[in-house]
Structure 1
Amino acid sequence: MTQDELKTLVGQAAVQHVPAGAIVGVGTGSTVNKFIDALASIKDQIRGAVSSSVASTERLKALGIPVLEASEVESLPVYIDGADEIDAAGNMIKGGGAALTREKIVADLAERFICIADESKLVEVMGNFPLPVEVIPMAAAQVARRLKAQYGGDATLRAGCVTDNGCHILDVRGLKITDPAAMEADVSQWPGVVTVGIFARNKASVCLLGTSEGVRTLTF
């Protein structure tokens, strides 16, 4: 199957993990778009969604799915989103679509994070995909220097990218992230960092992995 077909497969499988009557957390990206399309088939069985991006909100509303603000809910049973990389423990790199801060906020509301991805995203050690770091613009150069000094990563500003929060994205190459939780906790505290795209604190509970043999379910 093509990568697009694998994304469709896991998007459809994810609908089975949405409880009846739920408000569901919805992420961002091409794989999530397949989930949103599938979610429309059960829209009468759910109360609505909390979205992590303007793009996902627009897609949900176009399909007639009510969208609530994160401030309107105290918790969500499930958050469904993709990943740029995921390791064997359920830690992820996210932020290729520049929505990492809002994704982390919605993920933090959820009891379970269900990652939907194709098998190319499963890695032994994260870091081949450039790590996104959302920064306040005036801090970009300062944060880039510190990433180089402390982790040996080469950070470049993502050209033409302004996030939904009005911030910039640094993409960090040359990393081998052997302790995701420690790096997430460290970089998150640096002045000027809004969010680092390591999801270790909010790691996946389940990964629905699209493979040539069908959907493989990984539980962490």
Structure 2
Amino acid sequence: MNPTASSPSPTGALTLAQEKQVAAAAALRWVRDGMLLGLGTGSTSAQFIMQLGAAVQNGLKVQGTATSLASEALARQLGIPLIAPRRGLRFDLAVDGADELDGQLRLIKGGGGALLREKVLETASDYLVVIGDSSKLVPVLGRFPLPLEVVPFALPWVLDAVEALGGAPVVRMAQPGATDYYFSDQKNLLVDCHFGQILEPERLAAQLKTIPGIVEHGLFLGLAKAAIVVRDGAALVLRPGEAARPATEFDVLP
């Protein structure tokens, strides 16, 4: 959810919206016939789903499961075959965006409100690639508020516990200025937490896991195996502990 997604970049550069298209196209090169795909949520993931739909219409044979009702509706509209969750189901590749990622491919996700379904599906994937425009890569996580998906009954106690951790929690509303809450596809509430710089994401994730009523938190740690980000108009592949390399060097999953 980036308000500058369509804003022009410096003269001659791509807009953030165009960068999303470039990142999505680079990820599509890794899709092969017969794959089971996890389809992410958000504006960058929508670009991937639209390009995937065009490839399916041109004969690509894949199946997928979406991380949100919005992504599911888009995939159906484009003719992408979808499969329901079932025991034993694992995905060859999941493609999703992120609100932030650092150099170790630790992520903040959930700005679109689908973090529980995203984490469930991406944990069931053999390979998660994150796609993003140039604004998503940060030196330290935390500029973007950390979302939590919370059981409604537990909300008051969750807010107290997160406040004690220094998280400055804010319950997400349906619209700016609205008085009704935003609910996830799973009918849970979303709480956006302002921790500032998150210097120890693993420690914070462990602390949040101990708070009853938090269904899931938006720190995605150890899940992404690669990221495709756009810099100076070109798609680059990032992997933990490795220098960035042009996406054109990879015809298959790196």
TM-score by length of 2: 0.82
1:29 aligns with 2:10: no
CA contact 2:54–2:78 (8 Å) conserved in 1: no
User: 2:198 maps to which residue?
Assistant: 177
Distance 1:28 1:101 in 2: 11
User: 2:170 maps to which residue?
Assistant: 156
SS at structure 1 position matched to 2:86? helix
Structure 1 window deviating more from structure 2 (186-195 vs 115-124): it is: 186-195
Task: Give the helix-richer structure, 1 or 2.
Answer: 1
User: 1:6 maps to which residue?
Assistant: 19
Write the letter of the residue equivalent to 2:213: G
CA contact 2:105–2:222 (8 Å) conserved in 1: no
1:58 aligns with 2:73: yes
1:168 aligns with 2:181: no
Write the letter of the residue equivalent to 1:218: L
Q: Using the TM superposition, give the Cα deviation of residue 82 of structure 1 relative to its aligned residue in structure 2, in angstroms.
A: 0.1
User: 1:188 maps to which residue?
Assistant: 209
User: 1:105 maps to which residue?
Assistant: 120
User: 2:245 maps to which residue?
Assistant: none
SS at structure 1 position matched to 2:52? helix
Structure 1 window deviating more from structure 2 (13-22 vs 70-79): it is: 70-79
Q: Using the TM superposition, give the Cα deviation of residue 81 of structure 1 relative to its aligned residue in structure 2, in angstroms.
A: 0.2
CA contact 2:109–2:219 (8 Å) conserved in 1: yes
Distance 1:19 1:206 in 2: 17
User: 1:210 maps to which residue?
Assistant: 230
1:40 aligns with 2:53: yes
Q: Using the TM superposition, give the Cα deviation of residue 72 of structure 1 relative to its aligned residue in structure 2, in angstroms.
A: 5.9
CA deviation digits over 1:96-140, x for unaligned, max 9? Answer: 000000000110111111000011111111111000000001212
CA deviation digits over 1:179-207, x for unaligned, max 9? Answer: 222322331232100110000042x1111
Write the letter of the residue equivalent to 2:125: A
CA deviation digits over 1:24-56, x for unaligned, max 9? Answer: 111100000100011013223233111100000
Write the letter of the residue equivalent to 1:95: G
The counterpart of 2:148, out of the listed 120, 130, 133, is: 133
TM-score by length of 1: 0.95
Structure 1 window deviating more from structure 2 (94-103 vs 179-188): it is: 179-188
Which structure: larger Rg?
Answer: 2
Number of equivalenced pairs: 218
User: 1:118 maps to which residue?
Assistant: 133
Distance 2:210 2:95 in 1: 26
CA contact 1:181–1:201 (8 Å) conserved in 2: no
Distance 1:167 1:146 in 2: 18
Question: Percent same amino acid at aligned positions?
Answer: 33
SS at structure 1 position matched to 2:117? helix
Write the letter of the residue equivalent to 2:234: G
Gapped runs of 5+ residues in structure 2?
A: 1-13, 175-181, 241-254
Write the letter of the residue equivalent to 2:198: I
Distance 1:201 1:143 in 2: 25
